[in-house]
């Protein structure tokens, strides 16, 4: 048997400001740091030994993963970054306040952009696309794979690549895996491992800084507690 620990990063500065973040690299807030520390205590309390750890390439997820490892006595475990665990790309919505955007375009439209499985947000404009391509943070991502905006379905597809290439193999080796990622990439992971429908995936609520733990045995995932 192995364990899979999924943690959405603690509250970021833009979570506090209620902004669309997506592929913008934003730091944790003080509350987010505390949430990560509390997540580490939960792992300690459950006497979970972490063998491998992964995060997206963004600071808020990396910092969350590092805090959890350090505060749960796993400072010797290397946190590996994989862009396929990135948050869903919110396109031209990135940086906008969610309430102000809802006032401008209507709550129903913004809810569709945020949660619909197949709907893409408004895409990045050309000038912002060029800035994105020149961003050194994305240098190891094939340019053809850097999106202008993503549906949740597209996020699921790239997360599935990570699962097939890395995650499932590690779990088969009976390794306990920590993944520090984002609301939508964790929705994608849960859809994949629990075979959730599109509608079920849209409705998943993922709390910041709260570990979601699954047992894995004989290719079946069940809740740890």
Give burial (CB, 10 Å; 0-12/13-18/19+) of 98. middle
* Residue 202 designated active-site: no
Percentage of the chain exceeding pLDDT 70 = 100
Nearest CA-CA partner of 88 in 187, 13, 167, 16: 187
The residue from 9, 74, 89, 182 that is catalytic is 9
Identify the structural domains of the chain with CATH numbers, from first to last.
Answer: 2-223 (3.40.50.1240)
pLDDT score recorded for residue 114: 87
- Give the 3-state secondary structure of residue 122: coil
Q: How far apart are CA 213 and CA 224, in angstroms?
A: 5
Nearest CA-CA partner of 188 in 98, 94, 59, 56: 56
* Residue 9 designated active-site: yes
pTM flag (> 0.95)? yes
- pLDDT one-digit tens code per residue, 44-99: 999 999 999 999 999 999 999 999 999 999 999 999 999 999 999 999 999 999 99
The residue from 35, 87, 150, 202 that is catalytic is 87
Q: Which has the minimum average pLDDT: 41-50, 106-115, 132-141, 191-200?
A: 106-115
């Amino acid at each position: 048997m192995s364990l899979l620990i999924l943690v959405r990063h603690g509250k970021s500065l833009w979570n506090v400001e209620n902004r669309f973040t997506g592929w913008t690299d934003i730091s944790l807030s003080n509350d987010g740091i505390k949430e990560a520390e509390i997540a580490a205590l939960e792992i300690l309390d459950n006497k979970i030994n972490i063998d491998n750890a992964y995060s997206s390439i963004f600071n808020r997820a990396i910092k969350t993963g590092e805090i959890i490892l350090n505060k749960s006595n796993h400072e010797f475990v290397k946190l590996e970054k994989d862009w396929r665990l990135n948050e869903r790309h919110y396109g031209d919505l990135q940086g906008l306040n969610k309430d102000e955007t809802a006032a401008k375009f209507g709550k129903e439209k913004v809810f569709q952009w945020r949660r619909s499985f197949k709907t893409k947000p408004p895409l990045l404009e050309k000038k912002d696309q060029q800035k994105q391509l020149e961003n050194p943070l994305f240098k190891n991502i094939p340019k053809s794979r850097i999106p202008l905006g993503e549906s949740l379905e597209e996020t699921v597809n790239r997360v599935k690549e990570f699962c097939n290439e890395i995650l499932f193999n590690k779990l088969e080796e009976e390794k306990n895996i920590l993944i520090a990622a984002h609301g939508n990439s964790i929705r994608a992971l849960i859809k994949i491992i629990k075979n959730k429908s599109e509608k079920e995936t849209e409705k998943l609520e993922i709390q910041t800084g709260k570990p979601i733990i699954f047992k894995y045995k004989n290719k079946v995932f069940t809740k740890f507690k």
